[in-house]
Structure 1
């Protein structure tokens, strides 16, 4: 239930041992390398740099492995695109193949992936070329089809010596003007071949006479005649038949290649495993560029969890044959470069992703995950409150966890909703909501439809408790860091102002004990005075300090806004319940006859599933907001960088440790 303690190591090994050491450390996984800087930000040689030490660079190997990954990715994409094997429930349950680091390496060595991927890439290139050629043929076919009524060879028309021939188009709207003009020419013949949506296609044959040519040119200009170059040596109709035959032949070749691709379907899982292996190999190459080297040695720096030091030393000793230098030092508490790894209990672990989505803590902070987990579970259930919805979520997550082969990250995500389902059921019982329906005689604590004011008050009370706990955590952190007075100024005075103010208002408005009313008023005033006097303590000058204090006191309005924000706990719970009731009502209205009864199951199942999705989505988003804005804002800053295991995130397989 804390941030994992880290240690920094410096390791020197012989250059020939580099690859073997890195592979062993990747199997070990829990190591985070530090990029060794030999130059400062201005490109100058760092003052601490040692002569003869250079950065390790291997661009050639990186380029080579990128080419292999590109080839594999193309092969995988090709198989998946034309794989006609049906995805069965059994396949979904089976999930991705499970591999250990050793079995993955063995797969890459035993399976002839280079030959298979090369063959697939070759087939893929041919397939793409044929598809492109078919597209070109079709485009040409469509072009020729426009001139289908032309019953002469266009090339022969061009070869005529005593006349000029033209194939071309004019805009449809100019057809009348064109015909009127060209009909006046004595030595010109025209034939209308086709009318399309916007254009008219013509064949024009005219004498070589200069006067005729001049008149025809003017008619062409006036009617936007666009000359077309039909570059074929056959009558268009005959040429179309020839093109059709060529297209059919290309389609046969395409189908043949497609059948060839399908024969590789059984290779898909193996290719995906090798792809993951090469991704990890690439990571070793990329991370090795953080190292430094001399002519004979390699310097490696990085971070490891303190609890893993002994195991780390054993690996180094085994792989380096005792020929190494290793120095391990405990991480400085205030070192902002320390990578953050979280370690929590069984339940809180699955909520760590929410912390990561906001910001990882710095090394000298605390892990907020276990501090918000109980509230998150409580608030999520209050927003999604329904026994039926909670049971569906519970049973669905149990089924997936027990039956489906999940990756470790997916298992965490499913467990996240598994734990939340209990809260949904709990609040559903308190609200008496069972798929939006009420069951007569079944106990409930509150009726949301009638006692919404009580729910609103309860929601705001939860908010007060939540925010005050956040302030209490802030006080603890300040005291822990030796800033006890800051805890008084920034927490105690706010407790006094807020608590005093709330008690004063409640007792004053309800005409309760005058003594309590008076005491709470003076506590509130004392807290406000304390905030004014200390809120601007870091400013220079009395005026600036007082102004800063008054501005700090103005922050009390933000607390009011924070408290009101918790009304969403009531609002979302009510909205989900009302929609569920409306679905039941609609189903009841159409259930009066046999025809309507057919649609009742569809409305009930579809409607409730949709409402469940909306309710849980809203609960997830708004509960996260309450944590991030109202709660974290009181004590948590974050800004740490996460510890990255020396492994790639698997896409196609499940990698076991």
Structure 2
């Protein structure tokens, strides 16, 4: 239950062995490569660089694999878009296909994926072109539809020599002005064809007489007449009919291509497996750019877990024979470049994601996961406290874990809530809450709705214990690093100030033992004096040291705020319980009628599921906050770089070792 010990390796192999070595190391998995720097931050050649050594670059191969991935992705998307197979419960339970690294490699060799993707992409291009063509024809149809009442060919109108013809539009608000003006012209004919939104469509035929032309131009200007060019050689209605025929033919072709796409449905899982293989192949190419090379050799640097050293050496030997040079060195505790890999027990490992969300520890720190896991379980249950809600969570997670084929990461996530469900049930029993209801005669330790003061005090006591354990961990880390005096200054004095202060207040307010009151007061004073004298010890000058110490003592106010923060343990537990009771009350109010018999199950099931979601979401967020702010703030800094396995994160398959 700690940070995995790491060893750094340097491996030199012949250039022709590079691909085989990288593939073998990807199967080995637990390798984190180091980017070999041959130039510094300013682009200058690094002082440690060796003449004749250059970075390994293979842009051509990377471009090629990206093209393959794009083709595969397009083919997969096309099948999924038109796959009409229903998602059944058994498909969900089956989950992703399971592969080992070897079986995945064999799949790529035996399955003719290049032919399938080529065919699918060709069909996809045709399908897209036809869709685009249909869209264009519909747009054209809508344009011609505006002139559907025109019963002559617009090209024939343009050929008339003794009259001028115009097709155009005017704003609806100027229709009156247009009609009034054009009606005064003796040698001009107009016909209203259509009104659409704010525009009116007209056909205008007028004499070529110059006087008439001038008068008509004046009318056009006054009514904002816009001339339209209808460039079709047919009567609009006939043209529309022809467009409809063309659209119908295109739709037939579209349906035919769609049917072709559906015939590839069975290829979906195979293509997805090939896609994941190609993603891992791309990772090998990308990671190889961290390597360095000479004319005949390749230099590889990286990190591996120390416990895997022998297995690593065996993998290298199997691929390179005796033609390699390998050095291994255990990482130094203070080396900040060491990637961090966590290793925890059965329960704590399900909580590692929470550590990662905050920050991975540095190599010389301790893994906080097992240190916060018991508190997280305890506090989550206290906020979600209800036997019914806990049982629902327990049964749901048990079903998923037993029946559904999950990836390792998803299994961890489900186990996380599985372990939390026990705490929810435990606190539900203590509170006597069963889906928000009380069962007469059933034992309970505390009634939250009446004994909320007791619950508040208990929450703050939990907070005090939680924070004091955080300080104890800090003391352990200081002593471990040979800083025993710092443990006295930064932990023991705070213990004395806080514990002495709390004991003094309690005994003084309750008029209890005067002796204990006096002793606790002096313990508090000694602790405070110690903080003032040592809190600014790193500053220069007496005044600066004293000022730093006083500022450190002022930090006692933040501890008070931290203690009060734990009141959320009571608040969220109460809110969830009250909402659950309100749901039951609403259901009870409408009982006794046939309407109630219909809606009561909906109210109870829907209401409690919604409240359960809110309760668990609130518990997750606020418990995490207590860990990250109040607890980690006392001993944990983080800042480590996570160890990245030499594998991609798979979304279509489960890739086992």
Answer yes or no: same fold by TM over 0.5. Answer: yes
Matches within 5 A, 1:181-220: 181-220=181-220
Matches within 5 A, 1:366-385: 366-385=366-385
Match of residue 634 from structure 2: 634
Match of residue 275 from structure 2: 275
- 1:153 is the counterpart of 2:153: yes
SS of the aligned residue for 1:328 comes to: strand
SS of the aligned residue for 1:47 comes to: coil
Distance 2:46 2:412 in 1: 44
Match of residue 625 from structure 2: 625
- 1:64 is the counterpart of 2:64: yes
Cα displacement (A) at 1:275: 0.2
Distance 1:517 1:572 in 2: 35
Distance 1:654 1:207 in 2: 80
SS of the aligned residue for 1:190 comes to: strand
Cα displacement (A) at 1:346: 0.5
Matches within 5 A, 1:356-435: 356-435=356-435
Match of residue 254 from structure 2: 254
Match of residue 512 from structure 1: 512
Match of residue 100 from structure 2: 100
SS of the aligned residue for 1:468 comes to: helix
Cα displacement (A) at 1:372: 0.1
Cα displacement (A) at 1:214: 2.1
Match of residue 530 from structure 2: 530
Match of residue 572 from structure 1: 572
Q: Give CA deviations for 1:393-445 in whole Å, capped at 9, x if unaligned.
A: 11111110000000000000000000000000000000000111101111100
Cα displacement (A) at 1:212: 2.0
Q: Give CA deviations for 1:157-195 in whole Å, capped at 9, x if unaligned.
A: 112222221111111011001111111122221111111
Distance 2:603 2:561 in 1: 39
- 1:179 is the counterpart of 2:160: no
Distance 1:170 1:466 in 2: 78
Range with greater deviation from structure 2 (149-158 or 541-550):
541-550
Q: Normalised by the size of structure 2, how large is the TM-score?
A: 0.99
Range with greater deviation from structure 2 (519-528 or 53-62):
519-528
- 1:489 is the counterpart of 2:489: yes
Cα displacement (A) at 1:464: 0.4
Distance 1:123 1:307 in 2: 52
Matches within 5 A, 1:583-594: 583-594=583-594
Distance 1:159 1:561 in 2: 90
Q: Extract unaligned runs of 5+ from structure 2.
A: none
SS of the aligned residue for 1:249 comes to: helix
Q: Give CA deviations for 1:297-341 in whole Å, capped at 9, x if unaligned.
A: 000000000000000000101100110000000111111110000
Match of residue 167 from structure 2: 167
Q: Give CA deviations for 1:353-376 in whole Å, capped at 9, x if unaligned.
A: 000000000000000000000000
SS of the aligned residue for 2:147 comes to: coil
Q: Normalised by the size of structure 1, how large is the TM-score?
A: 0.99
Distance 1:98 1:639 in 2: 35
Distance 1:404 1:415 in 2: 13
Distance 2:485 2:185 in 1: 107
Q: Give CA deviations for 1:495-519 in whole Å, capped at 9, x if unaligned.
A: 1111111111111111111111111
Range with greater deviation from structure 2 (153-162 or 264-273):
153-162
Q: Extract unaligned runs of 5+ from structure 1.
A: none
SS of the aligned residue for 2:301 comes to: strand
Q: Give CA deviations for 1:213-262 in whole Å, capped at 9, x if unaligned.
A: 22222221221111111111101011111111111111000000000000
Match of residue 23 from structure 1: 23
SS of the aligned residue for 1:345 comes to: coil
SS of the aligned residue for 1:302 comes to: strand
Cα displacement (A) at 1:549: 1.4
Distance 2:323 2:536 in 1: 59
Matches within 5 A, 1:461-480: 461-480=461-480
SS of the aligned residue for 2:299 comes to: strand
Distance 1:216 1:518 in 2: 109
Cα displacement (A) at 1:635: 0.3
Distance 1:645 1:9 in 2: 15
Match of residue 308 from structure 1: 308
Matches within 5 A, 1:117-132: 117-132=117-132
Distance 1:520 1:215 in 2: 108
Distance 2:230 2:524 in 1: 93
Distance 1:307 1:242 in 2: 76
State the 4+ residue runs in structure 1 displaced beyond 4 angstroms: none
SS of the aligned residue for 1:191 comes to: strand
Match of residue 222 from structure 2: 222
Q: How much is the aligned-residue C-alpha RMSD, in angstroms?
A: 0.8
SS of the aligned residue for 2:339 comes to: coil
Match of residue 49 from structure 2: 49
Match of residue 643 from structure 2: 643
Match of residue 354 from structure 1: 354
